[in-house]
Structure 1
Amino acid sequence: MTRRGLLVPALGAFLASVAAAFSPLAVLNAIGPRDPGVRRVARDVAYGEDPRQTFDVFAPTAPAGARRPVLVLFYGGGWDSGSKDVYGWAAQALAARGFVVALPDYRLVPEVHFPTFVEDAAAATAKVAEVAATCGGDPARLGVLGHSAGAHLAMMITLDARYLADIGQPDLIRAAAGLAGPYDFLPFDVPASINAFGQWPTPRQTQPLTYARADAPPLWLGHGTADVVVHDEDTILLDAKMRRLGGRSEAKLYPGLNHADLIATFAPLFRRKAPVLADVSAFFHRELG
């Protein structure tokens, strides 16, 4: 394992199992309990022609006096697994805290490689902004977040301005959060990173840390200190570089939490373990209004 390696071989199966029918996260989605006062307001909204280029939208059932802030949530899975059908509970948890939440699928390795899945994240975010008003959301108050590989996607489209500029939406993202994210994981020496990024001729272009900048949207970065899949050093390094350049960033390390905990604590069953959901929600309410 490298200093900031993404996966050790013994843990590769864990990330692959995220999308499996009986994975721990799938069980959370199946058995609940669920946050009340939330409903799915749109299903399988297309943002491209591929079957995986769709998203669902969740929103509070209570009427609001004004349109609500919008979040786009990207799940993890090592860039080669995952499904929005497994993560409804996480989107619902955020919606119960006053957000309109879109949950996209995106194309996966080996069918695609970098930068296609990042381009999908940008395209999904742009489409969410397009339809947000019909779901009670305010596209002018839009944030993105993700867990693990999903955090990589969220930070890439936030920090590397080319992705959204290329589709005519350079100022779309107003704030971004990453949970247990890989932001600086060179060299590619484990299957997940080799398969997803190894064909790209300029490795540094695949790393969110490369694109830290003073004028980026504000960031919130969370990590567990017991994470052996993606080391908390990735969060520490990105936060430090953002601050050094004059950008807005805050990082929070959660003692004893592992890689899966950072998203599992969104579920009511595990919410008392750490206030990750409360911290992320407070950040977005503060930054998006």
Structure 2
Amino acid sequence: MPSLRLLLFCFVACVSQAAEPEKLMLAHYMPWYATQQVSGSWGWHWTMGHYHPEQRKWDGKREAASHDYPLIGLYDSGDDEALECQVLLMKLAGLDGVIIDWYGTSTHNDYAVNHEHTLMLIPWLKKAGLRFAICYEDQAIGQMKLKPGDDVKQGLQDLQWAEKHWFHDASYVKQDGRPVLLVFGPQHFKQAQWDQLRAALPSKPMLFGLPHLSKTHGMDGSYGWPPVSGGKAISTEKWHAELEALYARGTAGEAIIASAFPGFKDIYKQAGVHESYGSIAPRSGQTLAESLDMAQKSGAALIQVATWNDYGEGTVIEPTHNLGYRYLEMLQQRSAAPKCSAADLRLPVMLYQLRKRSSRNAKLGKELNQAAAFLFEAKGTEAEAVLAGVRDALGQQPARFSDTPDEADENYRLHTELLYREEKDITPAMNQRCRLDVYAPAKQKSFPTLVWFHGGGLTAGERFIPLQLRNQGIAVVAVNYRLSPGVKAPAYIEDAAAAIAWTFKHIPDFGGSADQIFVGGHSAGAYLSLMTGLDRKWLAAHDIDASRIAGLIPLSPQVITHFAIRDERGIAELQPLVDDMAPLYHIRKDAAPILLVTGDREKEMMGRYEENAYFWRMLKLVGHKDVTFHELAGFSHGGMPEPAFPLVLKFIQEHRSKQPSPAASGIPQ
């Protein structure tokens, strides 16, 4: 009898364990992007009928319908190399899979292309061991303007296709043995029609709708979404309350899918599509952190992160130029079983960029396939070693950028992803961010070099080689540095100094002259150039005298203590401060020659022109003999670098021999 009780206990325990719902974190994925290079034309979601991706800005970015920009550049959702990169990023970040936004099987608009892209994505997900589910856009039916009754026929065609090809797939997400099917809304079909549609699906999918529509439309449960409406800015308290209300419904017994999101900032109004839905501030990552924490505490088996890549609505968590890998690092930190370090997150992007740059080289292609195989096994160290070998090989070939792989320049070489912090014990953050690219002439010697720091308020940004500085007879060293709030001052200044020191040490290896090194940048990058060039201690830590710099080229710098540093200290944005973190504090007459440029005083960031005018005047008063100040009339803070670059190139040519200008310059009228 005791043995019977033991068997019964074990049986009940096993049943209880089997009934425990699978906990998954899934990202909402948009498969709708198309590029000229891959698809033959730019898709609507990059252009929205308003933007022109063939036009490129001074920083190399293409014009696009987005407030941010993919770290890998504008991509095609039907490009296997982009899909490989994305699923590897998902895997290494600790995501369990995706919920794919699906418009069905119709050929209306771009629905067929989106469907084809979805079919291409799923094998990559499976290769990475990731799961998938579908979010059906029934609004697509309404946009077809079908005859009465034909809409249900189209819905049946779509969902029966999904029933046949997806719902029984082992990788498809299920609850209680039933496939999970999200509906965005619903926005077209009413409850009676949904009853008719679900009756035709033997798998009996669990239907989830938006919280305010799910009950009235016959859904089985609800899922959260960024609660924007009315074109208003939604407060933190408001969206917190919306999520808490959803999770209370879950506690009361309703099936729910929890939601996390980084913020919301659409571009519809700027693109002329329609009015904005509203906005949710990202708050330097706190919005994603808080919504993730709430989701994980909700008890929901499924969490949907909205979104992986909706650039039109500004809910992107994939790596971007503004924020890099910040959001994926946050997911990784909250993952139950992280598969790699934060530094490894850059490897899929490196793989993608090297694939583009080596597309015509079969030997290197095989090596990259090996690196990819390591990444699919989450073997970051092995993958990085292979990628570094390919990177070094490409550095000996004509310069080719990953976003324009068909264009190669025999006269230049491009060396990427070089680590410039050379200490023995570097942190994962250093390993990821303390890297630079060298773009250098291939057939010249003793050329000048410009060390270039990107802008972004010390909280965002990504290195790049400015378009106007390419093929100009100079080398450009484009530098990444660690960012706030991940680090605080003076970490990014220390990084900038280390990058400059690396350049002094290594630029002769590329053919450049260590006596012709200029240092510059835009905005926050300009601030870093001045701090390292004026306060001697930063370069002195590397046994370099800051006076060796051939010239400083700050474009629209902050010369008082930077606002990001004031924010770190809890100082109000409009409270000025001048201390040892201010370039103005360190003015000296024996500093390197300086080219100081701002945009129009009426279009610049508040007070930026006035700061620089005072800075220029104080340099003159302490006896600096070679400082020039330009105000570029008609140009904003973000637009001023383009007209500034001819001034930059002229300045470099005039100061190649480090001879100061014979006379001081004034402020142009």
- TM-score in same-fold range (> 0.5): yes
**Matched residue, 1:206:** 581
What amino acid maps onto 2:448 in structure 1?
Answer: P
**Matched residue, 1:3:** none
Structure 1: distance between partners of 2:408 and 2:568: 34
**Larger RCO (alpha carbons 8 Å, 6+ apart):** 1
- TM-aligned CA distance change 1:57 to 1:277, over 3 Å: same
Q: Determine if contact 1:180/1:230 at 8 Å carries over to the other structure.
A: no
Match of 1:74 among 446, 450, 453: 453
Match of 1:283 among 646, 651, 659: 651
State yes or no: 1:245 paired with 2:613: no
Query: Which string of whole-angstrom CA distances, capped at 9 and with x for unpartnered residues, describes residues 99-144 of structure 1?
Result: 1110111011112111110010000000011110121211111110
- After TM superposition, the structure 1 = structure 2 runs for residues 212-231 of structure 1, keeping only pairs within 5 Å, are 212-225=587-600, 226-228=603-605, 231=608
What amino acid maps onto 1:76 in structure 2?
Answer: G
Structure 1: distance between partners of 2:609 and 2:404: 30
The DSSP-based 3-state class of the residue aligned with 2:417 is strand
**Matched residue, 2:204:** none
Normalised TM-score (structure 1)? 0.77
The DSSP-based 3-state class of the residue aligned with 2:579 is helix
Structure 2: distance between partners of 1:57 and 1:230: 34
- After TM superposition, the structure 1 = structure 2 runs for residues 156-175 of structure 1, keeping only pairs within 5 Å, are 156-170=531-545, 171-175=547-551
State yes or no: 1:176 paired with 2:541: no
Structure 2: distance between partners of 1:56 and 1:208: 26
Q: Determine if contact 2:605/2:637 at 8 Å carries over to the other structure.
A: yes
- TM-aligned CA distance change 1:83 to 1:131, over 3 Å: same
Q: Determine if contact 2:560/2:578 at 8 Å carries over to the other structure.
A: no
Query: Which string of whole-angstrom CA distances, capped at 9 and with x for unpartnered residues, describes residues 227-246 of structure 1?
Result: 13562112211111111111
Q: Determine if contact 1:122/1:157 at 8 Å carries over to the other structure.
A: yes
Query: Which string of whole-angstrom CA distances, capped at 9 and with x for unpartnered residues, describes residues 69-108 of structure 1?
Result: 1110000001011111xx23x0x53242211110111011
Q: Report the Cα offset of residue 198 of structure 1.
A: 5.0
- After TM superposition, the structure 1 = structure 2 runs for residues 1-289 of structure 1, keeping only pairs within 5 Å, are 19=322, 30=403, 39-48=412-421, 49=426, 50-51=430-431, 52-61=433-442, 63-64=443-444, 66-84=445-463, 87-88=464-465, 90=466, 92-170=467-545, 171-184=547-560, 192-196=564-568, 204-225=579-600, 226-228=603-605, 231-247=608-624, 248-263=626-641, 265=642, 274=643, 276-289=644-657
**Matched residue, 1:5:** none
- TM-aligned CA distance change 1:31 to 1:232, over 3 Å: farther
Q: Report the Cα offset of residue 172 of structure 1.
A: 3.3
- TM-aligned CA distance change 1:245 to 1:76, over 3 Å: same
Q: Report the Cα offset of residue 252 of structure 1.
A: 0.4
Q: Determine if contact 1:41/1:135 at 8 Å carries over to the other structure.
A: no
Q: Determine if contact 2:482/2:492 at 8 Å carries over to the other structure.
A: yes
Structure 2: distance between partners of 1:106 and 1:57: 15
- TM-aligned CA distance change 1:149 to 1:217, over 3 Å: same
The DSSP-based 3-state class of the residue aligned with 2:548 is coil
The DSSP-based 3-state class of the residue aligned with 1:261 is coil
Q: Determine if contact 1:230/1:259 at 8 Å carries over to the other structure.
A: no
Query: Which string of whole-angstrom CA distances, capped at 9 and with x for unpartnered residues, describes residues 40-95 of structure 1?
Result: 4311111123221110000234x22x3101110000001011111xx23x0x5324
Q: Report the Cα offset of residue 38 of structure 1.
A: 5.9
Moved segments of 4+, more than 4 Å = 15-18, 29-32, 34-38, 196-199
Structure 1: distance between partners of 2:471 and 2:515: 20
Unaligned runs of 5+ in 1: 1-9, 22-28, 266-273
- TM-aligned CA distance change 1:167 to 1:236, over 3 Å: same
The DSSP-based 3-state class of the residue aligned with 2:628 is strand
Query: Which string of whole-angstrom CA distances, capped at 9 and with x for unpartnered residues, describes residues 137-185 of structure 1?
Result: 1111111001000000000001111111122001431210111111125
